[in-house]
C-alpha cells in the first residue's frame, strides 16, 4: 500500500523521536569525555577527606570468584587508571580480595598515588580457599593484616581501614579496640566498620570515632535502612556493597530507566545517590566499558515522581 502524506509524516515523527531517544541513551550510557564522578557531588570522610560521591570497588579486578590473579593483569591496571581519569578519587578494596591480589594491583597500577586519592581497605576476613570467607577478628590478626596491607599498598598510613565483618568468636570491643590502637599508632587515619547493625555501630563508636559504615544496600535490599538513617543523621559516610542488585532490580526501576534512556544499572546508582547525602556507592567491574557506564550515572538526576515510581 502506498503511504499517504499523513502516514509518512507519522513515520518521520516516529523516527525522529527514536533518534532523540537513542541520542539521549548514548549520551548517558556511553561515558564521553565530559563524564566524571565529580557530577555526583562530594562527601567528607572523617571530617577531613573530601572525595567525589561515586567511588570504585576493586573486588572484581581479581580472578573469577574473587580468587587468584586476573586473566589479564594489564586490563585490570587499565580499569584502575581509567577510574582515576574519570574523576574517581575513592577506591575500596580488602586484603581478602584475591586474597591480597586487589591491593597489589592497585599499587602496581597507581603508585605513586596522585594527590587526593583515598584508598580504603578492610581486614578481618580470611580466605582458606576459593569460595570461603572466614571471619578472624583477633587483635593479633588485625594488626598483622593492617601491616601487610600497608606494605602491599605501599603506604605509610591507610586512609580508611575497615573491620570487614564481626568475628562471632571475638568480642566486637576487642576487634575495634585494636583498630583504635592502630589509629593511635599512626597506621590508620580513619576507622570504618562493615556489616554492622545499629547497636553494633553504637558500641564501636564508644571505642573510637567511626568514619564510615559499609553494609549491603540497594534498590532490592533495604534491610540496612535503619543503619543508613543513623549515618545520615550523624554525618557518617555510608558505603553500600552490592550496590547494583544485579538481576533483582524490579519492574519499577526498569520502567523508569527506559523512560530516561539509561541502563537499569545506571538508574540503580542514581537511586542510591538520591537516598542520602552521605551515600558513597562503589560499583565495581573488570571492564573499562562498564566502568565508563557506571561513572556516567553520576550525572543522572531523579525527580521525586521517578523515585516514587522505582518503589
Q: What is the mean pLDDT of residues 11-32?
A: 37
Q: What's the number of CA atoms in the CB half-sphere (13 Å) around residue 298?
A: 28
On the question of a cis peptide bond just before residue 112, with omega within 30 degrees of 0, the verdict is yes
**Is 4 within the bounds of a domain?**
no
- The SS3 call for residue 12 is helix
Mean residue pLDDT across the chain? 90
**Is 15 within the bounds of a domain?**
no
**Is 219 within the bounds of a domain?**
yes
State pLDDT tens for residues 33-46. Answer: 468 999 999 999 99
State pLDDT tens for residues 232-284. Answer: 999 999 999 988 766 555 678 889 999 999 999 999 999 999 999 999 999 99
CATH number of the domain residue 96 falls in? 3.20.20.100
Cα angle 168-170-175, degrees, rounded to a multiple of 5: 115
Among 21, 97, 113, 217, the one annotated catalytic: 97
**Is 20 within the bounds of a domain?**
no
Q: What is the mean pLDDT of residues 58-87?
A: 97
Sheet holding 237-241, edge to edge: 56-57, 90-92, 118-123, 158-163, 188-194, 210-216, 237-241
CB 270 within 8 A of CB 302: yes
Q: What is the mean pLDDT of residues 110-126?
A: 98
CA distance 151 to 288: 27
CB 266 within 8 A of CB 299: no
- Enter the pTM of the model: 0.88
On the question of a cis peptide bond just before residue 99, with omega within 30 degrees of 0, the verdict is yes
97 annotated active-site: yes
- To the nearest whole percent, how much of the chain has pLDDT over 70? 87
CA distance 290 to 218: 18
CA distance 136 to 141: 7
**Domain span at 82:** 35-310
Q: Look at the chain and report how many structural domains it folds into.
A: 1
**Is 113 within the bounds of a domain?**
yes
Q: What is the mean pLDDT of residues 60-67?
A: 96
* Residue 251: per-residue pLDDT: 72
Secondary structure element (H or E) that encloses residue 163, with its range: strand 158-163
* Residue 237: per-residue pLDDT: 98
**Is 17 within the bounds of a domain?**
no
**Is 128 within the bounds of a domain?**
yes
**Is 304 within the bounds of a domain?**
yes
Lowest mean pLDDT across 13-22, 99-108, 214-223 = 13-22
* Residue 43: per-residue pLDDT: 98
Amino acid at each position: 500500500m502506498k503511504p499517504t502524506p499523513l502516514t509518512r509524516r507519522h513515520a518521520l515523527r516516529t523516527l525522529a523521536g527514536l533518534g532523540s531517544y537513542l541520542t539521549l541513551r548514548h549520551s548517558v550510557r556511553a561515558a564521553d569525555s565530559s563524564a566524571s564522578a565529580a557530577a555526583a557531588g562530594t562527601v567528607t570522610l572523617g571530617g577531613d577527606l573530601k572525595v567525589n560521591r561515586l567511588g570504585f570497588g576493586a573486588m572484581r579486578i581479581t580472578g573469577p570468584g574473587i580468587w587468584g590473579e586476573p586473566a589479564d593483569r594489564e586490563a585490570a591496571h587499565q580499569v584502575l587508571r581509567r577510574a582515576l581519569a574519570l574523576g574517581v578519587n575513592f577506591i575500596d578494596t580488602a586484603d581478602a580480595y584475591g586474597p591480597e591480589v586487589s591491593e597489589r594491583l592497585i599499587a602496581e597500577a597507581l603508585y605513586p598515588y596522585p594527590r587526593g586519592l583515598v584508598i580504603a581497605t578492610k581486614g578481618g576476613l580470611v580466605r582458606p580457599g576459593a569460595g570461603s570467607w572466614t571471619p578472624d577478628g583477633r587483635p593479633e590478626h588485625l594488626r598483622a593484616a593492617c601491616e601487610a596491607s600497608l606494605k602491599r599498598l605501599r603506604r605509610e598510613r591507610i586512609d580508611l581501614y575497615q573491620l570487614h565483618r564481626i568475628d562471632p568468636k571475638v568480642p566486637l570491643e576487642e576487634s575495634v579496640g585494636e583498630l583504635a590502637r592502630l589509629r593511635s599508632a599512626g597506621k590508620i587515619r580513619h576507622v570504618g566498620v562493615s556489616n554492622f547493625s545499629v547497636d553494633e555501630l553504637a558500641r564501636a563508636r564508644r571505642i573510637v570515632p567511626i568514619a564510615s559504615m559499609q553494609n549491603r544496600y540497594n534498590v532490592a535490599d533495604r534491610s540496612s535502612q535503619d543503619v543508613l538513617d543513623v549515618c545520615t543523621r550523624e554525618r557518617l559516610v555510608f558505603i553500600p556493597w552490592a550496590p547494583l542488585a544485579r538481576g533483582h532490580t524490579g519492574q519499577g526501576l526498569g520502567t523508569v530507566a527506559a523512560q530516561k534512556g539509561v541502563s537499569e544499572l545506571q538508574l540503580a546508582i542514581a537511586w542510591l545517590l538520591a537516598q542520602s547525602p552521605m551515600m558513597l556507592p562503589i560499583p565495581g567491574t573488570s571492564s573499562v566499558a562498564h566502568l565508563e557506564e557506571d561513572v556516567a550515572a553520576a550525572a543522572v538526576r531523579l525527580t521525586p515522581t521517578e523515585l516514587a515510581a522505582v518503589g
